[in-house]
Chain A
Amino acid sequence: MTDLDSASALLDQVNAARANRTPLKIQGGNSKAFLGREVAGEILDTRAHCGIVRYEPTELVITARAGTPLSELLAALDNAGQMLPCEPPAFADSATVGGMIATGLSGPRRPWSGSVRDFVLGTRVITGLGQHLRFGGEVMKNVAGYDLSRLMAGSFGCLGVLTEVSLKVLPKPRQCLSIRLDIDCARALSKLAEWGQQPLPISAACHDGQSLYLRLEGGEGSVTAAHQRLGGEPLDSIFWRDLNEHRLAFFDEGLPLWRLSLPNNLGPLELPGEQLIDWAGAQRWLKSASADIHALAQSLGGHATCFSHGVSDTPFQPLAPTLLRYHRQLKAQLDPQGLFNPGRMYAEF
């Protein structure tokens, strides 16, 4: 495990970029470089700024530098019997903690546990004014000032260079059991809506068109009781990692891959392509050649992101004009020279 504080070098690079007005392309392990639009700029590599700064399991908080390999952070938690409940996907061994926050992607447990942003407690950020600042902290509750830490999650590096993050963590569940139920999509979604109103220990729910895959997590008693009630075939829990890391056969190369984030109660949907349902219906993966996925997602009350690189010039859902204006104004305030990842999310900023 490497422990390197390179904050001053990162700050120097940002200040040089400010002086030269050179845009910066912020990158960690490049494991999620396929997301978003191309950025032209000088590379700012966060990986030299790495290491777990502080971790006391009984405080339920871990603080790590942005360049820390995600695998290292997860291993440290695992050793202490804890976890990051939002299950961020890595997509490659090179994935970093900073990239996890910047992309804000969460795994199968998300509807029940909360997202990456929900576990962010504090951040350190280099701003467009060339200052290294601290927001939030290492405490569970903190409402002093605006919540800039959570704002960083999913902002794709467009608002500043994330250098350090403090995250809330939780104990791993005592019992974990995965099952497969061979029921069709319509029935699965209607059962999930029903089960959602009951105190059942479901922590993941996926439907691939043939079967419903469920994960049960909790104490021995609740998991056993739920299993007895739901029945089903036992399922190797590696399924969830393969789903999260896009290693299921569904994700093999082919048509462009889209992520649709939708209201959870839409039931079965006829979508223009092959779909895989995750998050009990709230996240749908779609392989489609259609050019109208954004319009479709919007009409369904959600939004869509293209996960295949270079397919769309607008991989993220276009923003409504007023919302876009406030995005630009916020960007202009925090990064007045437009140095950080210009155009990574939208062409306009």
Chain B
Amino acid sequence: MNILYDERLDGPLPQVNKAELLKALQRAVPDLDLLWREEELKPYECDGLSAYRTTPMLVALPRRLDQVQSLLKLCHAQSVPVVARGAGTGLSGGALPLEQGVLLVMARFNNILQIDPAARTARVQPGVRNLAISQAAAPFGLYYAPDPSSQIACSIGGNVAENAGGVHCLKYGLTVHNLLKIEVLTIEGERLTLGSEALDSAGFDLLALFTGSEGLLGIITEVTVKLLPRPQVAKVLLASFDSVEKAGRAVAEIIAAGIIPGGLEMMDNLAIRAAEDFIHAGYPVDAEAILLCELDGVEADVHDDCQRVREVMLAAGATEVRQAQDEAERVRFWAGRKNAFPAIGRLSPDYYCMDGTIPRRELPGVLRGIARLSEEYGLRVANVFHAGDGNMHPLILFDANQPGELQRAEALGGKILELCVQVGGSITGEHGVGREKINQMCAQFNNDELRLFHAVKAAFDPRGLLNPGKNIPTLHRCAEFGAMHIHAGQLSFPELERF
């Protein structure tokens, strides 16, 4: 099924006359930078999910809030769809443009407005890069905890819209846990302040509701985040296992020992070999699985915890446990993991990254299911896994130049996500639904639940002008998807335990 906006399944879009809209915008907001020529629009036709491309009707590049406000008011008045975009690094097509819509690029709002070390907060514009916040806070010994792999490039506005994660979520939380306040413009151009500089605010928790709403409820114009003191030390242990089950057991035993690591990552053999070939991190290429366990905090505690974790891992059946001897080795251990995606990219012309989450106990069964699907679809799958919080990133290797392989990869990916849902997990842990997983939403939620999501949307954007077609599928789409994919009452993996 085509992933691009399909009016037959996703609902009719308002008809917009490009020339008239352009003229109206130029008249209403004379100093707003607009792109409308074909060659100017090209660079904006996709986000980080580059397999899917749509040329937007117009691209707006505002620099001031009043420009955004005027643009929204005009789009609202003329029923023009608006897709917001930050740095465009998202992996689920959340910023995929519409042919019949304006792409609102917030990247030029890139000022850090205030770092308040005493309050441990940073107030920034939405186009500020994730890493830039931590860099600005570093002189005060502070940092911003959520660290998606794209942190060098991704913007905080996009992080809020997607509720971005990273490798340290188990201990430090997702974006939603590290926000104090956002400023928002509604589709009608009204300003809303959600949250506050205090730790909570009056009324419903709309800050939580807007976090991860993928640009469907409002446009984020300012973000206040919490900063944390940098941990005194961080140590990394690298453990090898001759089976994925044993590695999984080691993760549970570490938690059972009362230890919450700063990061706890698992890689399977294919991912290990790819990373080692690429980075020479010193990974054991014969291991079936490795665990990278980072312990951070005050030195004395970290020292004790390293001892405990080493013992737990050996007891769980680790064949070897190594501790990074110095900072250089620690960075090297992590480099292998952080470059796992490009490393896989060297094995295959293309790869497709999934983002399912599962209760950790289900890991061995899910990995067996993935192996079976991999065989069935004739495509290799490498597994990297935020083991501490149950977030899997299976990477499907394929070659888009081979006819049908992209479609096979998509179908395989969809099956993997459905498997995650069947064991009580979710189709997306941190990348968002966007356009990519719009069909799998029908597997995770029933029609009544989807109807309630649409009701929430209607409270903020009754005409459905903000990012239409993303995040929440229409019931019509699910009916079509259900007819294609779900065999009434039959579960694909009857042998798996369910709750």
Contacts and interface: CB of A to CB of B under 8 A. Distances in A.
B300 to A, nearest CB: 2
B202 A316 contact: yes
B232 A221 contact: no
B198 A301 contact: yes
B118 A193 contact: yes
Contacts of A268: none
Contacts of B358: 139
Interface stretch (A71-79, A230-238, A322-330): A322-330
A320 B390 CA distance: 40
B252 to A, nearest CB: 4
Contacts of B192: 322-323, 326
B221 interface: no
A221 B459 contact: no
B424 A151 contact: no
A81 B169 CA distance: 22
Interface stretch (B235-243, B400-408, B426-434): B426-434
B120 A196 contact: yes
B170 A140 contact: yes
B299 interface: yes
Given A139-B358, A197-B117, A198-B229, A327 B298 contact: no
A330 B459 contact: yes
Nearest to A201: B298
A341 interface: no
B299 to A, nearest CB: 7
Interface in A125-153: 127, 129, 131, 133-135, 137-148, 150-151, 153
A174 B191 CA distance: 46
Contact of B199 (A174, A279, A305): A279
A282 B199 contact: yes
A282 B201 CA distance: 12
B390 A140 contact: yes
A153 B190 CA distance: 26
Given A144-B427, A172-B258, A196-B120, A117 B298 contact: no
Contacts of B305: 219
B359 interface: yes
Given A110-B199, A221-B298, A139 B425 contact: yes
B140 interface: yes
| Most chain A Cβ neighbours within 10 Å, of B165, B177, B361, B460 | B177
B345 to A, nearest CB: 24
Contacts of B204: 151, 154-155, 158-159, 327, 330
Given A139-B357, A150-B176, A154-B204, A219 B298 contact: yes
A218 interface: yes
A219 B258 CA distance: 11
A21 interface: no
A174 B140 CA distance: 29
Given A319-B202, A327-B203, A218 B298 contact: yes
Contacts of B432: 143
Given A115-B199, A137-B425, A139-B424, A333 B205 contact: no
A58 B191 contact: no
Interface string A274-296: 00000100110000000000000
Interface string A184-216: 000000000100111111000000000000000
A329 B460 contact: yes
Interface residues of A, number: 87
Interface in A293-338: 301-303, 305, 316-320, 322-324, 326-327, 329-330, 332-334
Contacts, number: 275
Contact of B456 (A111, A318, A323, A330): A330
Nearest to A279: B199
Contacts of B437: 144
A135 B390 CA distance: 18
B260 to A, nearest CB: 6
B97 interface: no
A333 B441 contact: no
Interface in A64-118: 81, 104, 110-111, 114-115, 117-118
B303 interface: yes
A150 B360 contact: no
Nearest to A305: B202
A3 interface: no
A73 B200 CA distance: 25
Interface string B212-252: 11000100000000000111100000000000000000001
B456 A61 contact: no
Interface stretch (B69-77, B285-293, B442-450): B442-450
B483 interface: no
B120 A197 contact: yes
B444 A144 contact: yes
A145 B300 contact: no
A279 B451 CA distance: 40
Given A222-B300, A302-B197, A196 B426 contact: no
Contacts of B317: none
B178 to A, nearest CB: 9
| Most chain A Cβ neighbours within 10 Å, of B170, B198, B390, B424 | B198
A221 B174 contact: no
Interface string A13-36: 000000000000000000000000
Interface in B175-214: 176-177, 186, 190-193, 196-206, 208-209, 211-213
Contacts of A183: none
Contacts of B425: 137, 139, 142
A129 B118 CA distance: 47
A46 interface: no
B182 to A, nearest CB: 13
Contacts of A303: 196, 198, 200-202
B190 A322 contact: yes
B297 interface: yes
Contacts of B451: 129
Contacts of B6: none
A56 interface: yes
Interface of A: 54, 56-61, 81, 104, 110-111, 114-115, 117-118, 127, 129, 131, 133-135, 137-148, 150-151, 153-155, 158-159, 170-172, 174, 193, 196-201, 218-222, 224-225, 261-265, 279, 282-283, 301-303, 305, 316-320, 322-324, 326-327, 329-330, 332-334, 345-346
19 contacts: A81-B258, A114-B173, A135-B449, A139-B429, A140-B389, A141-B386, A141-B390, A144-B445, A146-B213, A148-B452, A150-B208, A172-B258, A218-B297, A261-B200, A263-B198, A282-B198, A318-B202, A326-B192, A326-B206
- Closest A-B pairs by Cβ, 9 of them: A221-B300, A219-B301, A141-B429, A171-B258, A222-B298, A317-B202, A140-B389, A150-B208, A302-B198
Interface of B: 116-120, 140-142, 162-163, 165, 169-170, 173-174, 176-177, 186, 190-193, 196-206, 208-209, 211-213, 217, 229-232, 252-253, 255-256, 258-260, 297-301, 303-305, 357-361, 386, 388-391, 424-433, 437, 441, 444-446, 448-449, 451-453, 455-460, 471-472, 499
Given A143-B431, A145-B441, 18 more contacts: A58-B252, A58-B361, A115-B200, A117-B208, A141-B429, A142-B429, A148-B209, A151-B208, A154-B200, A171-B259, A171-B260, A200-B229, A225-B300, A282-B198, A303-B198, A316-B202, A323-B192, A333-B456
